[in-house]
Structure 1
């Protein structure tokens, strides 16, 4: 099979198309022919060595396709089934080995490209809005990078739960996308000289006061402004660091800010059990089928051009989801 591999850590240029042996399912596993693979920031962290990763390394954990082989001890999955996956290692490949209990069924009404775009970012948005800080009626949330893959989905899910959402974006086009997803306001921060002092007043003006929760996947650049935008006993949910990792800070700031909460969640801790994984996936699929959740695929690249896909994502010029079209 063809796959994308990095022989050593580095920038996007280390990614190359290679031939590798076809995977064979072991007990409790299935193999699927990948139709599309999702591109995520965590892939770039592993490729570059920010996250400890063994090399040579085939990136990716997310995608969708059709089952071609089933190992022993996998009930409920058959050859020909349409499935998606969120945590199958080596997903930038024509064939992907998937743990049987983590094979996510894709309804016939949902395209495999859409299914490939949804597992990681969709379930991230789901756990943020439904579990980490279960936002609801009468509350207001600030979502940074509101036109990104997680941002667009999170805005929709929070709105479906009855919350008002204010977002930050970097261009007029992204503002339009964010508003179309349900945001009550999309604040352009690209013209601000000092986010820490200038952004919170704009957020409070749009929200009618400090917000209940900030969902922050940007990190270093927005962290101080996020804390300053929260109401007393509000929560900062730092779920990523696209602008860089937040440096250590004095916890006393949470006290002086109004007994604030701060958490650094990760998807893996919210889908540990197969049952929880399926609950999140089934809710997302139901919303897509019902037309209540729009999944925007902002850019498509062929498998062989994975390096360009990584550059596009790291350049923060994308909107929605970036996918690799494999088959």
Structure 2
């Protein structure tokens, strides 16, 4: 074992089972054929079918991230596009979410190599990239997110042999740099194990929310390494010339939503949808979507405060209920 990888930490016993392959299948922590994190959750949610649910985090704070994950969500999305979350807060939130057994996903500001690198090096189980418009952009994103795939077996410093993975996802090859000891710790792996398995375990989701992205959604879905098409309905409706918040009542927008869903499914990919309430989640799940969020931190704060304050309007304004 070399001087660097021997000091890469693993979490103490009792850490969430989500982060390691199930022993029910005879797999071990270093078995590269077993999926980890959100990739595993999505795979397991196919049979029996169930929705993969998450919450949107737009406010910074490890404590908030931890408490949100403790609610029982499958994932918590750390929003670095529209949220008030900088690089340091992202790192803190990702570790806090993973430590509670949920999958941290980072919505990056855009398809830039630096954003992809920082998100995945923090230990995120996946990234969500907004405003994906072309297949070429999607291929570049995949390249940024994947390590170069080894071509042949080589001897290791431990006296063993490093062989290329047989897993389809691990055979993808990109340009991601090796260097972060933080991501392996989040996945409960050594650096060697993480490098060996990260290409198959990190999820790449792209948002279809522009007219160009809608027109190219079938081509984007067919790009190797793109795991999910995720619909941003507000921006999609706005791009189509409709009021963003009225998207559910506009037939043309709903037809576009169905087109993106069909594109994902026809390509053998997952489909995700932004939702703000349980009835929306139920409808989208029945429609065929795999992953949905159920509101988020700011929505929860606003809704709870609005309801409770309204219930006290009579005494707040000096009026009697009678």
Task: Give the TM-score normalised by the residue count of structure 1.
Answer: 0.26
Bigger strand share: 1
Structure number with the higher helix fraction is 2
Higher gyration radius (CA): 2
